[in-house]
Structure 1
Amino acid sequence: MSNRPLAAAGRLVPLLRAGLIAGIVVAAAAYPAVAVTGIGAKATAHAVESKTRLLTTALPAETSYLYAPDGKTVLTMFFEEYRQYTKLADISPNMQQAIVAAEDNRFYQHHGVDPKGVARAFVANARSSGVSQGASTLTMQYVRMALRDSATTPREVQEATAQTPMRKVKEMRMSVDLEKELSKEEILERYLNSAYFGHRAYGIYAASEIFFSKTPKELTAVEAATLAGLVKSPSQYDPASSDQKDATARRNYVLDNMARLGYLSPDSAQAAKSEPIRLRLTYPPNDCAAVPDKWNSWGFLCDYLKNWWSAQPAFGDNRLQRLDKLRRGGYRIVLSMDPKIQTAAEKNVGTEGNTGSPFANGIVVSEPGTGRVKAMAVNRRYSLSLDENPLSSNPEAGPDVKANYPNTVAPLMGGGDLPGYQAGSTFKMFPMLAALDAGMPLNTVFNAPHSYRSEVYDGWQPSNASGAMSGTQTMWSGFGKSVNTYFVWLEEQVGAERAVRLAEQLGLRWRTDVDRDHASPAKANKWGAFTLGVSDATPLEMANAYAAVAADGRYCEALPVNAIYNRDGTPAVYTTPGGIEREVAKPRCRQVVNADAARAATDAARCPTGDTPAKGSCGGWSTADSVRGTVGRPVAGKTGTTDSTRSAWFVGYTPELAAASFISDPDNPFNAVGDGQSQIPIAAVANTLRDALKGRPVRDFVPPSDRIVG
């Protein structure tokens, strides 16, 4: 029996399928509503109309830019698709013509769907017994890209990319409708900003920069034809590959079409075809690890910005949505840091010469009254590389090796998921401030013994670091000498829970199970050791909490930005629970304690630094009496060390700036810093404040009222 009839029938199948699809295509072009209804989906027509309306306003994902405080210097970018939207007027006519020549010769003649193109594709596909030629116009291609870009669920992504007649019909219907709403120029602009050109270049701005290191307005005919040729198959026609044969052939095809359409003269096209493809490849920086090396330490503030952003409801309902917005929203973000203060901070924690120590010495500087982070530095390099890490080749180092030295991207200064470090006696500020806010005077006297048994805290018996701390103390002398027994007693008087809740109002968060348990409503009032700083805290939290004291009790949330602009240049805003619209980058402040209480706390906090309080006596000596002489202006603050000096702290402030510095081993909290290094944070803060404020007028603290002195 002959196989010829079966073979003939087999050849007819592709023809019949192609004919069927072509029939639907032509019907959709001529009668789109009828075609859609004929497939049996009245609801589909409504959905198509709704999506078409959406596409008239939808914009593709766009790169967000992070700027230095000058608002001009780009530090890095955030993107999934590297793209910067560019107006058609800023795109070379060469590029506009080349993309038409490459993808849709009849773009200016059809109305979204090209029947002639459909017929041509039908014939070509029938001859090849497959799909050798498409019939998609530029408008149809744009619709497909826009639907893909606007998809927010897996189902929407599948619907936007499914290779089915139904998807094709919807696409054509939307293309016809879209051309009634948008001009050819508007569609061409959107297409050129949506198309993928390979090498992570989405849109013509990115393609021009990545392949030729120039703007779209500067593209020559040869360059434009090269880029236009990429859209069909970015990998096959990649001019950056070792063999440019396919890329050159595709470019020449586009140049020939440009000549045929009258965009180039035959001689110009021929001359262009004889030129080699000359690239100047550029790879754009992405994310915080790409911050330029000369600003390496700024990577830590960049990283904090990302963590802060992921917590802002203005950018989405959850962390993933918010980070997606950062990478796709086209924001312009200006960091809050002050380059002069940052330079001082970097110098004084040894970011250049002290990175080889297992002990991290970091500092955060915050601005009282705004919460803006003015500096963030640590004796580490912000880097993902483990190449220089002495532990990276040690199989026993464990998964936390990246938090060690000298390279790390761990949030060592706060703002991430690390709990921080025990902050020692810097926590004495919280019960003192709570007591003052409750009406207790600075001159509250207690005869502090060397060891004190607390009946309130179930017989717990802390002691002082030195016998010289025993005796009659006030808030001035007790704070200046860091007398443990005085502050345990003071915390008893005001209530430990009140001190804990005040610390929370000043921005502290409990990140370990132990701290959360102690801070719980059921147990907080028994947390006697709270005043001794047994809880973990970060330099970011402590700088901001003390900044609130400097700002007369007005706490401002930590803020890593000066400004955030939407892609259209307007400030990014959010709506408060009360329905008020506010800029995301504006300070968010609230009064936590009354101003007189904060001023009184500052008066006592001048004692540890060797400064002279306005109202009382420090009792003869202090724990950081060199600070006043180093800073050279009125300054307040507090030292803090933990058991066995596993970590050491100093938090200091002037009316203009608050700074918190620590030294600790972030990988091994049992690796004691030792008393010999406890002066390092004191020097870091004192020297940073001195250098940062050099040349600025000297300001004094506002003294407390006589009423609160006692």
Structure 2
Amino acid sequence: MKRNPKKIWFRRILRLLAILFLLLSLCGAAFLFYFAYLVLSIDDLPEAQQALTTRFFYDDGEVLAERYVENRYKIPLEEIPLAVQWGTIAIEDRHFRKHYGIDIGGICRALLRNLRERRIVQGGSTITQQLAKNLFLSPERTWKRKIEEAALTIHLERTYTKDEILEKYLNTIYYGHAAYGIEAAARTFFAKRAKELTLAESALLVGIPRGPRYYSPFYNEEAAFRRQALVLERMEEDGYITAKEKEKALAEPLKFRSLSEEEHGLYYLEYLVSEDLKRFHEGDTDQFYRSGLQIYTTLNREMQKAAEEVIANLPVQKTDESGVRQPQGALIALDPQSGEIKAMTGGRSFEETMLNRAVPPTRRSPGSAFKPFVYAAALENGLTADSRFSCEPLSIEDPWSGELYEPTDFGNHFHWRELTMREAIKVSCNVAAIKANLLIGPEKSVEMAKKLGIKSNIQPYASLPLGTFIVSLLEMTSAYAPFANGGIRAEPIFIKKIVSPNGEILFKNKTQKEQVLDPRIAYIMTDMLKDVFAPGGTAAAIRDLINRPTAAKTGTSDSYRNVYMVGYTPDLVIGLYIGNDDEQSLEVSSGSLAVPTWGEFYRAAVRGLPVQDFPRPQGLVDVSICPETGAVQSDHCTLEGYTEIFIEGTEPGTDCAEEGCPYVRPRFWWPWPPLWNRSRAE
């Protein structure tokens, strides 16, 4: 009997369909088993470690700078405006409150619309699915990843409430310009906190995540506002806002943050991260910037801006081969009592040159700004502010270097007379300083400099007072601080504390203090350094700016290569350096360049600070001195004397009469002719 071909093919098709059904059933069962296994095995999914923004603060708590790999801040849902929450749900996942993580209806609607438009115009992922992708999954597109995404989505829905999911989502979604999360977005686009956003601002931000670059108002303002209008329309449709509120939001003018806002403290921050905070990141700055730490610095906002301004505005003499304007400069201001750095800049512009001239390894000759350390050592070794040195040609063989040394004064001149230590400091006499150095021994001067804070390698040469070695500006500025602080040295500090993202204090700085100098010597040094601003002093040009007790010393290195000025009040030490990076001559002295620049910053820095005087310690005496002999002025001396300060016990032991002063009247002296007979004699 012949078989019917149609029946044969029909049976074959049935068998094939049965096999296919069986295979599909097995695949479906395997899929369901694998999916169920994934869901059930995720019992305790660890919190994803996401990069947070590391922030630096001024001493008043205002933000100095932010550093990040991903700009992100975690904030609770209570600090996220309802407009942001409602808008996100309306535009991203309208059925968020109803589904269990996967919206089958939404997927179908998105598929049909995309087919109708012949392009992808609508996604089917829910907020929970997007959160799963952002938190735990790689960006690859495979079936395995899709299954894992679905499993993670179900797990998130089982583990967290809808509000918790929404909070996590709004803290992780990307808004462009390295901003992750609504708080970073609010700061990036509007320079405000998320909780301060208006309805109009919220709607604009809510629309960005669909296309962070296309909908960025910085790149495409028109598209950003179209998207904002769509968000507001959806919010009205879903009953979150009224038509009147929508129209008001559409009419609201928005003010965006400028992307070109100037950053301050860049030299400071670079040094802080690379040196002072090294122990917190062990060289991995990328990981450090992910940490979300809050670093409270010692910088004063107004002083920092003033420091940057005066250095940026230095007169330009030339531009070097690298396009860097010369001369360059650096400025440091610190609190002598706490050691806190209040301002620091290492050049005209960080973008122009990253070389930080304020801190090691950059070192320059300080010139005569080093002399106070020599004179402090002299006071410690028995000399006084009234000790006298003749300023005249001097030719010596330096016993330490073995070279013949013939110092001159500024401009190769001499004073050709005796100068007291006070006078020598005022006019910055080189010969007097070298004689004082040789009298006590240069090793004593080196010892004093090290004690006060100089860490660089300096040698005990005869020329030591003229700063013929190199040190950093940070060293010089901090070494002057004990003069301002009663002989107490406070180690310089750059940060006050470091706080974790959770608010835990990880590190709190403590000022390290040490009494390194007799407070009486510190006071006498300060009193002598005040005279630098008096008529005839090296900084007399700015004496009209000095509106409170202030002491200072200028310095010009050999061949005018560098100019220095370090000065202080009881609550602020200011150090300034100016010079060419190639150390070619400036062809001007400190009085012409450093003094007016220092004065400009001083005027801005002390504005608003209380006027204080340097506290006078016990154990000092004021003595009237005869200018002719240097002895205590006799009651019968006809010269106009002056008052000098001495450490008790170091003042002159005799008066000028005993020293044979020719201007002392006889003890029993009568005018001649006698007063009662003067008319007759006339």
- Fold-level similarity (TM above 0.5): yes
Determine the structure 2 residue equivalent to 1:282: 256
Alignment of 1:425 with 2:389, yes or no, is: no
| Residue correspondence of structure 1 range 229-248 to structure 2 within 5 A | 229-235=207-213
Determine the structure 1 residue equivalent to 2:340: 372
Whether the 8 Å contact between 1:86 and 1:193 is mirrored in structure 2 is yes
Shift in alpha-carbon separation, 1:607–1:107, aligned structure 2, 3 A? same
Q: Which of 168, 183, 204 is the matching residue for 1:190?
A: 168
Alignment of 1:678 with 2:568, yes or no, is: no
Whether the 8 Å contact between 1:431 and 1:491 is mirrored in structure 2 is yes
In 1, the alpha carbon distance for the partners of 2:460 and 2:22 equals 83
Q: 1:303 aligns to what SS in structure 2?
A: helix
Q: Which of 661, 664, 667 is the matching residue for 2:576?
A: 661
Shift in alpha-carbon separation, 1:336–1:222, aligned structure 2, 3 A? closer
Residue identity matched to 2:595: I
Shift in alpha-carbon separation, 1:455–1:317, aligned structure 2, 3 A? same
Q: 2:281 aligns to what SS in structure 1?
A: coil
In 1, the alpha carbon distance for the partners of 2:465 and 2:582 equals 24
Q: Which of 304, 315, 337 is the matching residue for 2:300?
A: 337
In 2, the alpha carbon distance for the partners of 1:695 and 1:281 equals 35
Please list the CA deviations of residues 404-458 of structure 1 after superposition, one character each: whole Å capped at 9, or x if unmatched. Answer: xxxxx7645x1476x2542101122334445656x55447787786232112222
Q: 1:311 aligns to what SS in structure 2?
A: helix
Q: Which of 252, 265, 272 is the matching residue for 1:308?
A: 272
Determine the structure 2 residue equivalent to 1:468: 414
Shift in alpha-carbon separation, 1:174–1:644, aligned structure 2, 3 A? same
| Residue correspondence of structure 1 range 120-199 to structure 2 within 5 A | 137-146=126-135, 160-163=138-141, 182-199=160-177
| Residue correspondence of structure 1 range 191-210 to structure 2 within 5 A | 191-208=169-186
In 2, the alpha carbon distance for the partners of 1:244 and 1:434 equals 71
Larger Rg: 2
Which has the larger displacement, 543-552 or 529-538? 529-538
Alignment of 1:456 with 2:400, yes or no, is: yes
Q: 1:422 aligns to what SS in structure 2?
A: coil
Whether the 8 Å contact between 1:645 and 1:678 is mirrored in structure 2 is no
Shift of 1:551: 0.9
| Residue correspondence of structure 1 range 223-234 to structure 2 within 5 A | 227-234=205-212
Shift in alpha-carbon separation, 1:138–1:423, aligned structure 2, 3 A? same
In 1, the alpha carbon distance for the partners of 2:198 and 2:297 equals 34
| Residue correspondence of structure 1 range 376-455 to structure 2 within 5 A | 382=349, 384=351, 402=352, 411-412=356-357, 414-415=358-359, 419-434=362-377, 440-442=382-384, 450-455=394-399
Determine the structure 1 residue equivalent to 2:677: none
Q: Which of 58, 61, 68 is the matching residue for 2:52?
A: 61
Whether the 8 Å contact between 2:229 and 2:250 is mirrored in structure 1 is no
Shift in alpha-carbon separation, 1:496–1:230, aligned structure 2, 3 A? same
Determine the structure 2 residue equivalent to 1:87: 76
Residue identity matched to 1:185: D
Shift of 1:188: 1.1
- Structure 1, unpaired ranges of 5+: 1-14, 37-44, 148-158, 292-298, 385-401, 404-408, 511-518, 575-582, 612-620
Q: 2:397 aligns to what SS in structure 1?
A: coil
Shift in alpha-carbon separation, 1:423–1:281, aligned structure 2, 3 A? same
Shift of 1:590: 3.9
Shift in alpha-carbon separation, 1:688–1:239, aligned structure 2, 3 A? closer
Whether the 8 Å contact between 1:18 and 1:122 is mirrored in structure 2 is no
Whether the 8 Å contact between 1:627 and 1:686 is mirrored in structure 2 is yes
Whether the 8 Å contact between 2:360 and 2:472 is mirrored in structure 1 is no
Shift of 1:689: 4.8
Residue identity matched to 2:271: N
In 1, the alpha carbon distance for the partners of 2:218 and 2:544 equals 61
Structure-1-length-normalised TM-score: 0.64
Which has the larger displacement, 588-597 or 276-285? 276-285
Shift in alpha-carbon separation, 1:525–1:77, aligned structure 2, 3 A? closer
| Residue correspondence of structure 1 range 497-646 to structure 2 within 5 A | 503=449, 506-508=452-454, 510=456, 519=457, 525=459, 529-559=463-493, 573-574=506-507, 583-584=508-509, 587-606=511-530, 608-610=532-534, 623-624=538-539, 631=546, 634-646=549-561
Shift of 1:139: 3.7
Residue identity matched to 1:368: P
Q: In percent, how many aligned pairs have the same letter?
A: 24
In 2, the alpha carbon distance for the partners of 1:546 and 1:177 equals 64
Residue identity matched to 2:262: A
Shift of 1:679: 3.8
Q: 1:546 aligns to what SS in structure 2?
A: helix
Please list the CA deviations of residues 622-677 of structure 1 after superposition, one character each: whole Å capped at 9, or x if unmatched. Answer: 6556676763654433221111222222322232332333443x3442133334x6
Shift in alpha-carbon separation, 1:660–1:86, aligned structure 2, 3 A? same
In 1, the alpha carbon distance for the partners of 2:29 and 2:91 equals 26
Please list the CA deviations of residues 448-469 of structure 1 after superposition, one character each: whole Å capped at 9, or x if unmatched. Answer: 8623211222235251325636
Alignment of 1:317 with 2:317, yes or no, is: no
Shift of 1:700: 4.0
Whether the 8 Å contact between 1:557 and 1:587 is mirrored in structure 2 is yes
What's the RMSD between the two structures over aligned residues?
5.6
Whether the 8 Å contact between 2:529 and 2:551 is mirrored in structure 1 is yes
Determine the structure 2 residue equivalent to 1:30: 36
Please list the CA deviations of residues 531-567 of structure 1 after superposition, one character each: whole Å capped at 9, or x if unmatched. Answer: 4213344544433321232112323344567787665
Shift in alpha-carbon separation, 1:25–1:137, aligned structure 2, 3 A? farther
Shift of 1:164: 5.7
Shift in alpha-carbon separation, 1:205–1:500, aligned structure 2, 3 A? same
- Greater percentage in helix: 1
In 2, the alpha carbon distance for the partners of 1:189 and 1:268 equals 27
Shift in alpha-carbon separation, 1:458–1:19, aligned structure 2, 3 A? farther
Shift in alpha-carbon separation, 1:116–1:625, aligned structure 2, 3 A? closer
Shift of 1:93: 3.1
Please list the CA deviations of residues 242-294 of structure 1 after superposition, one character each: whole Å capped at 9, or x if unmatched. Answer: 696799589759966995xx5569x969x979x989883624557xx614xxx
In 1, the alpha carbon distance for the partners of 2:52 and 2:173 equals 11
Please list the CA deviations of residues 559-614 of structure 1 after superposition, one character each: whole Å capped at 9, or x if unmatched. Answer: 567787665667x542xxxxxxxx24x64544444434434543554454549xxx
Structure-2-length-normalised TM-score: 0.66
Shift in alpha-carbon separation, 1:350–1:247, aligned structure 2, 3 A? closer
- Structure 2, unpaired ranges of 5+: 1-20, 319-325, 621-646, 652-682
Shift of 1:489: 6.0
